[in-house]
Each structure stands twice: as structure tokens, then as C-alpha cells.
Amino acid sequence: MLPLELIRRDPDRVKRAARLKGEEAPIDEILALDRGWREHLHAAETVKAEQNRLSKEFAKTRDDALKERLREMADQAKSELAEAEAVKHELDDLLLRVPNVFHESVPVGETEKDNLVVREVGSKRELGFAARTHYDLGETLGIMDFEHAARVSGSRFAFLIGEGARLERALVQFMLDTHTREHGYVEVLPPVLVNSASMTGTANLPKFGADAFRIEGQDLWLVPTAEVPLTNFHRDEILDGDRLPLKYVAYTPCFRSEAGAAGKDTRGFIRLHQFSKVELVKVTSAETSMAEFEHLLADAEVILQRLGLHYQVMLMCSGDMGFAQFKKYDLNAWCPGLGRYLEVSSCSVFNDFQAMRANLRYRPARGAPPSFAHTINGSGLALTRTIDAIIETYQRADGTIEVPEALLPYMGGLEVIGRRSS
């Protein structure tokens, strides 16, 4: 969330940022509640201070009249404080609904059409025959199965089978190895059920609860991304500054109900209620976050480069970047069969927006007062769509799929997916 102090000092900046993001921000209500809260709090504390003082006196004198007066003061302080807290709750609730501001380098715009292509790497592969989609190829080869998934779970689920499942496992291994051995991330296997406080910490709550799956009757949610457990790992802590940046990588399933997206990408292995992702998370100091953000983006790009996939780096405009992000890049991989790019990674920096919600701080130097950390995350990469891009890019005229060179060590000698072994 944003510091209340920022909203007091520069409400217009916050309003403007929200408008350019296409979000609502109840700034005037917040300012009114803020005034009310401080009035009641001041009243309560004044009475309480006097009560504390007289209470010590009472310990000596045991004066009955004083006791009666103290009883009244206690009631008064209690009711003022209750009033202050009620207003503060309302205030905090609204604060959690104020979107983050954004970095000066973010282009102002309304829709995805206003996003900026920062660079393109590689080029669209010429196949020399009519490209087929990953779901056509996948179903034909028997490595993807949507029909049985619909029976077992419902729509927007999928099975990977045989060499398809093997491909995902190889990719996971490849990505984790690259990020841990070469990029210095610590591998983590987190819980995939998290509580509401964690969901609030990363700003998935209160606004986006409808996009997530909740466990009935319990305060538990299925993680929409490993960002939630990784970023909340240090919630309510004060870290030593010299431990930063912290770098974590985790492979987890991700669960999204995607309520608002019905009808979009219904075909194929693209937008599912459950998908796998390798996620990168960094916790940094305020000074280094923007540079660490660019590094994280580069770490994710390495995966695409090694897989030999053509992709573009897209800088998201204000209107398309989301509630919590300070700046965001998408990595879009080219899929010849679909004839379009698929988003395989989304990399974001949040400045202290998440850290304030999660109360995640660090001490810049010995004895210095704590500051809120900066948080960064990005997919490195989403497995499902990376598989789509690989299948469509490496397909051969006979409908089999070549295994990208980088994955050969992870595929146990398999060089072509779908080749008859007879």
C-alpha cells in the first residue's frame, strides 16, 4: 500500500497515477477518515495519559473519590479509542484499495496497444510448411489431453502425458538449474496453500479474491503464483541490510479461477485453472531495486534464449500494468501455429508497495532505523506456454517435435518427441 503520509502530502499525485492506471482511488474519503482518526486518537491519548498519571497517585492514596473519577476516565478513554479504531479500520481498508503509483519510465496509455516493444530477440522461425497449433499437435501425439481433464476436473484443465509430461519436467529442471547455478537464486519449495494475510501482503487481496481459489471453511487460498509464499516468507521481519538482495526461485503449480476471462483463450494449453511456473522473487533495498529488476528480467530472458525461442520484451503502459506494479515488463514468445505471441513471463517491481502491506523491512545500516524493502518478481518462466512455444517452434513436417538443444541433457537421450519407437 501507499504510505498514508504520501497521500496526505500529495493527494493529487496519487489520484493522477490511479486515473492513468484506470483504477479507482478513494483519496478524499481517506483524507476525511484520517482527520477523524487523529481527532479521536488524540482525545483518547490525552485522557489515557492523565489516567495513567492519576492511577499512580491512587496506588499511594487509595482515595475513593479519585477511584470514582478514574473509573469514569477509563470509560471515556475506552470509548474514544474504540471510535478511533473503528475509523482507522475503515481507513486501512480503503488504503489497501489504493493502487500503486508508477515509475517515470512507464509510458502513459490505456490499453495493451499502448505498450512499448522494448526489443525483439531472434526471429520468427520459417518452417517451410503449414504450422500447426500446439493443441493440435499435442492431442495428435497423445502428449496433451483436454478431454479426459474435462471429465476429471472440468474445463480449463489439462493432462500432460508421456513425453509431454517429461518435457515439462525437463524444463523445470533446466530452469531451476540455470537460476540457481548461474544466477544465484536460492531454490525454494513453498506451501501452495497460504492464508489471507499473505494474499493481502502481495496485494492479491482484498481486490482480487475472486480470481483465486479458496478452501471452503478455512482461511486458506491456493496460490495464484509462488510470488505469494516467497514474498511473504519474510513478512513482519526486519532484515539486516547486508543480507540484501535476497533471491529466491521456486517451481510450483499455480491456481487461478480467472473469473473475468471467460471466453478468452478457451482452446489449448494457454489459460488454465492450474498451470506450472518457475518464479523468481527478489527482496532488495530501496537503492538497488530498479537495477535488480532489470537483472531479473535478463535472468528470465536467458531461458528463452537458450531454448532458441523468438520473443519480444514489452514494457507495459500505465493502463495495462495492474494495481500493485511500479513497473512491469512482459516476455512474449512467438508461437508459429497460433500465429501470435504468448505471454510466458511477467516481471514486475513494486517498490515498497508490497513490503508495506507485508510489513517487510530491513535495516540499511547498524543502528539505522528500519526501512521498507523493495520487492521484485517475475516468471522464469511459465511452463505451460513455454511448452506451447517449443512445440509450435520445433514442430516438424511429420508432426513430431524436435527437442531443443538446451533440453537434451534433461530428456534422457530423447531427441524427438512423438517419434514411433517401433
Binding status of residue 58 toward RNA by CB under 7 A = yes
Of the candidate residues 9, 28, 32, 49, the single one contacting RNA (CB under 7 A) = 49
Of the candidate residues 10, 28, 29, 38, the single one contacting RNA (CB under 7 A) = 38
Size of the site for RNA (CB under 7 A): 27
Secondary structure (3-state) at 188 = strand
Residue the block writes with cell 488524540: 42
Render 374-417 in DSSP notation, one character per residue. Answer: EEEEEEEEEHHHHHHHHHHHSB-TTS-EEPPGGGGGGTTT--EE
| Residue 186 near residue 280 (C-beta atoms within 8 A) | no
Residues 237-256 that bind RNA (CB under 7 A): 238
Binding status of residue 41 toward RNA by CB under 7 A = yes
Of the candidate residues 13, 16, 48, 97, the single one contacting RNA (CB under 7 A) = 48
Binding status of residue 235 toward RNA by CB under 7 A = no
Window of 18-26, 40-48, 123-131, 316-324 that interacts with RNA by CB under 7 A: 40-48
Secondary structure (3-state) at 367 = coil
Closer to RNA by Cβ: residue 67 or 151: 67
Binding status of residue 76 toward RNA by CB under 7 A = no
Of the candidate residues 12, 56, 64, 104, the single one contacting RNA (CB under 7 A) = 56
Binding status of residue 220 toward RNA by CB under 7 A = no
Binding status of residue 414 toward RNA by CB under 7 A = no
Residues 363-382 that bind RNA (CB under 7 A): 366-367, 369-370
Within 8 A by CB and 6+ apart from 404, the residues are: 307, 308, 390, 394
Q: How far apart are CA 312 and CA 115, in angstroms?
A: 12
Q: H helices then E strands: how many in the chain?
A: 12, 17
Binding status of residue 193 toward RNA by CB under 7 A = no
Catalytic residues: 256, 271, 343, 346, 385
Q: How far apart are CA 204 and CA 196, in angstroms?
A: 9
Closer to RNA by Cβ: residue 154 or 367: 367
Q: Which of 118, 121, 128, 116 is nearest to 310 (CA)?
A: 121
What count of other Cβ atoms lies within 10 Å of the Cβ of residue 366? Answer: 8
> Which residues contribute to the site for RNA (CB under 7 A)?
4, 38, 41-42, 44-46, 48-49, 51-53, 55-56, 58-59, 67, 70-71, 73-74, 238, 361, 366-367, 369-370
